[in-house]
């Protein structure tokens, strides 16, 4: 798997490999994608100031009102709650979960991968068995079981999502660290008397960071989708809190009468993951040292 994922990353880079030494032009689609992502980050950061209503404020006189009115730009849901306000709050929550989880899984996975490369032998086998375990049990299925166990809480959800994709970082970090160990520079600093921690964190990590960052751009949208899926099934973020998947899940009940309740968060999910994919591909080109 590791070889293949690395292989894919490399070939996609080659595939898109415009020979660009300086970042002269950003393709228009990528530009739009980055613009959208920046908007999302700003919206998430200032959610409390932007949203016109409280997310639980009910306006029972205008339930399921269609979008376009000056009072509720994106309409209201079945309890007369403002869809735009809920959408803004959802963006914030979904992004926080995805950021936290991506960092968590990148850090844990990389450390485990380095540990496997450093100690080999038994440690390596344990890490590989854990990775196999993760690969054998689809993440959604594992999450379902765990969430049924603890009930859903915000901290648990982030931790659980933080498990997502750790094995990818672990495999990549292990492979790259082993490869780096065979190269001159790591051996040189070892000869100079550097401690293993120093070798790994100061010398090997910077050299493999670009590949790991690329994996983060792959994991991030997947975590958004995973959280969305869980919340959609009613097992992720719980009311009264609201996330994008959770809004889609509840909006589904009113698909015939008020499709906007579902379409608004669905559109945001699609645009966000699409933008991350486009920007991620582009970033991959830029960060790839082999494209010169």
Residues that bind other proteins (CB under 8 A): 1, 4, 7-8, 10-12, 14-15, 128-130, 132-133, 135-138, 140-142, 144-146, 148-150, 221, 225, 228-229, 232-233, 235, 245, 248-249, 252, 255-256, 259, 262-263, 266, 269-270, 273-274, 276-278
Least distance (Å) between residue 225 CB and other proteins = 4
Query: What DSSP assignment string belongs to 233-284?
Result: TTSSSPTTS--HHHHHHHHGGGTTT-THHHHHHHHHHHHHHHHHHHHHHHHH
Least distance (Å) between residue 175 CB and other proteins = 9
Cβ contact 96:47 at 8 Å: no
Least distance (Å) between residue 52 CB and other proteins = 25
Nearer to other proteins, 50 or 146 (CB): 146
Nearer to other proteins, 30 or 53 (CB): 30
Nearer to other proteins, 111 or 128 (CB): 128
Query: DSSP character for 76?
Result: B
Distance of alpha carbon 266 from alpha carbon 91, whole angstroms: 11
Least distance (Å) between residue 8 CB and other proteins = 6
Judged by DSSP in three states, 82 sits in strand
Least distance (Å) between residue 120 CB and other proteins = 10
Distance of alpha carbon 169 from alpha carbon 109, whole angstroms: 5
Nearer to other proteins, 151 or 184 (CB): 151
Nearer to other proteins, 45 or 137 (CB): 137
Query: DSSP character for 202?
Result: I
Cβ contact 242:93 at 8 Å: yes
């Amino acid at each position: 798997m590791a070889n293949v994922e690395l292989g894919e990353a490399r070939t996609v880079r080659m595939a898109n490999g415009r020979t660009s030494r300086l970042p002269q032009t950003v393709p228009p689609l990528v530009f739009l994608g980055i613009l959208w992502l920046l908007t999302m980050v700003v919206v998430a950061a200032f959610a409390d100031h932007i949203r016109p209503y409280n997310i639980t404020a009910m306006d029972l006189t205008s339930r399921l009102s269609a979008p376009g009115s000056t009072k509720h730009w994106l309409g209201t849901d079945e309890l007369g709650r403002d869809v735009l306000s809920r959408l803004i709050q959802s963006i914030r929550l979904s992004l926080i979960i995805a950021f936290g989880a991506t960092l968590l899984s990148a850090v844990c996975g990389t450390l485990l991968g380095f540990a496997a490369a450093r100690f080999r032998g038994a440690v390596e086998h344990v890490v590989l068995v854990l990775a196999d375990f993760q690969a054998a049990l689809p993440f959604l299925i594992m999450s379902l079981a765990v969430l049924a166990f603890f009930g859903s809480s915000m901290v648990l959800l982030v931790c659980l999502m933080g498990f997502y994709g750790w094995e990818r970082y672990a495999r990549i970090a292990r492979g790259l660290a082993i490869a780096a160990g065979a190269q001159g520079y790591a051996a040189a600093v070892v000869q100079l008397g550097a401690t293993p921690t120093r070798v790994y964190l100061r010398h090997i990590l910077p050299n493999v960071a670009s590949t790991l960052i690329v994996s983060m751009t792959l994991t991030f949208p997947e975590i958004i989708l995973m959280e969305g899926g869980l919340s959609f099934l009613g097992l992720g973020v719980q009311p009264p809190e609201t996330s994008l998947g959770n809004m889609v899940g509840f909006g589904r009940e009113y698909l015939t009468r008020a499709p906007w309740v579902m379409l608004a968060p669905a559109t945001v999910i699609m645009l966000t993951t699409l933008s991350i994919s486009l920007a991620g591909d582009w970033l991959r080109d830029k960060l790839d040292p082999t494209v010169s």
